[in-house]
Amino acid sequence: MKPTFTNYFIALFIFSLSSFTLAFSQGIKIEKTLVENRLNPLGIDNPNPTFTWLISSTKRNVLQTHYEIQVSDLDRQFSNNIIWESGKVESEKSVKVKYDGPELSSKSKYYFRVRVWTNQGSSNWSAISFWQMGLLNESDWKAQWISPGYEESGNKRPSPYFRKVFNLPKKIKSATAFITSHGLYEAQVNGERVGDAYFTPGWTSYNKRLQYQTYDITSLLKKGENAIVTVLGSGWYRGHLAWNDNNNIYGSDIALLLQIEVEYEDGSHETIGTDNSWKSNKGAILSSSIYDGEKIDARKSFPGWTETQFDDTKWMPVKTVDFGYKNLIATYNEPIRKQEYLKPVKLITTPKGEKVLDFGQNLVGFVEVNIKGKKKLKITLEHAEVLDKAGNFYTTNLRAAKQENTYILNGDGEEHFEPHFTWQGFRYVKVKGLQEDIDLDDFTAVALYSDMSKTGSFSTNNERINQLQHNIQWGQKGNFLDVPTDCPQRDERLGWTGDAQVFFRTAAYNMHVDNFFTKWMKDLTADQLPNGAVPHVIPNVLGEGAAGSAGWADVSTIIPWEMYLLYGNKEVLQTQYPSMKAWVNYMSSKSQHSLWNTGSHFGDWLFYRPDDDTDGRSALTDKYLIAQCFYAYSTQLLINTAKVLEIKEDVQDYSELLKNIKAAFQKEYVTPNGRLVSSSQTAYVLTLQFDMLPEELREQAAQRLAENIQQYDYHLTTGFLGTPYLCHVLSRFGYHDLAYTLLMQPSYPSWLYPISQGATTIWERWDGQKPDGSFQNPGMNSFNHYAYGAIGDWMYRTLAGIKSSEIPGETGYKAILIKPHWNNKVLSEKVASSVNQALEEVDASLETYYGTIQSHWKKENDHVSLELNIPANTTAKVILPLTSMDQITETGKGVEEMDFLHKIHQEDGHIALEIGSGFYVFSIAQ
Three-state DSSP class for residue 557 = helix
Burial, 732: exposed, middle or buried (Cβ in 10 Å; 0-12, 13-18, 19+)? middle
Contacts of 353 (CB under 8 A, 6+ apart): none
Q: Edge-to-edge strand order for the sheet containing 184-189?
A: 192-193, 184-189, 224-233, 160-168, 279-282, 316-317
Q: Residue 881 in 3-state DSSP?
A: coil
- The answer to whether the CB of 159 falls within 8 A of the CB of 231 is yes
Residue partners of 247: CB distance under 8 A and separation at least 6: 155, 238, 239, 240, 241
Cβ(872)–Cβ(851) below 8 Å = yes
Q: Identify residue 514 by its one-letter amino acid code.
A: D
Is the separation of the CB atoms in 146 and 274 below 8 Å? yes
* Phi, psi values for residue 555, rounded to 5°: -55, -30
* Count of beta carbons in the 10 Å neighbourhood of residue 739: 26
CA–CA dist 126, 499 (Å, integer):
40
User: How far apart are the C-alpha atoms of 600 and 627, rounded to whole Å?
Assistant: 10
- Tell me, yes or no, if 764 is annotated catalytic: yes
d(CA 634, CA 596): 13
Alpha-carbon gap, residue 53 to 910, rounded angstroms = 35
* DSSP state letters, 753-815: HHHHTT-SS--SSTTSB-TTS-BS-GGG--S--GGGGGHHHHIIIIII-EEE--STTTTTTTE
404 HSE (CA, 13 A, CB side)? 14
Distances, alpha carbon 256 to alpha carbons 212, 229, 264, in Å: 11, 11, 26
Distances (CA, A) of 178 to 136, 198, 256, 302: 12, 15, 11, 25
Phi, then psi, of 68 in degrees rounded to 5: -145, 135
Question: For every residue of 247-284, which 3-state class applies, written as one string?
Answer: CCCCCCCCEEEEEEEEEECCCCEEEEECCCCCEEEECC
Residue 715 near residue 619 (C-beta atoms within 8 A): no
Q: How do 293-297 and 404-408 pair as beta strands?
A: parallel
Q: Where are the alpha helices (DSSP H) in 446-496?
A: 463-479
Answer yes or no: are the C-beta atoms of 430 and 384 closer than 8 Å: yes
Q: Among 492, 562, 847, 890, which one carries the catalytic annotation?
A: 492
Q: Which residues of 441-464 are buried (b: 16+ CB within 10 A; e: fewer)?
A: ebbbbbbbbbbbeebbbbbbebeb
Sequence-distant (6+) residues with CB within 8 A of 4 are none
Q: Give the active site residue among 261, 334, 764, 847.
A: 764
Rg of the chain (C-alpha set) = 30
- Of all helices (H) and strands (E), which one includes residue 68? strand 64-72
Three-state SS at 521: helix
492 is catalytic: yes
Report the Cα–Cα distance between both ends of the chain, in Å, rounded.
Answer: 72
Q: Report the amino acid identity of residue 546.
A: A
Strand partners, 913: 878, 904
888: left (phi over 0), alpha (psi -120 to 50) or beta: beta
Buried b (16+ CB within 10 A) or exposed e, 794-822: bbbbbbbbbbbbeeeebbbbbbbbbbbbb
> Looking at the annotation, which residues are catalytic?
492, 764
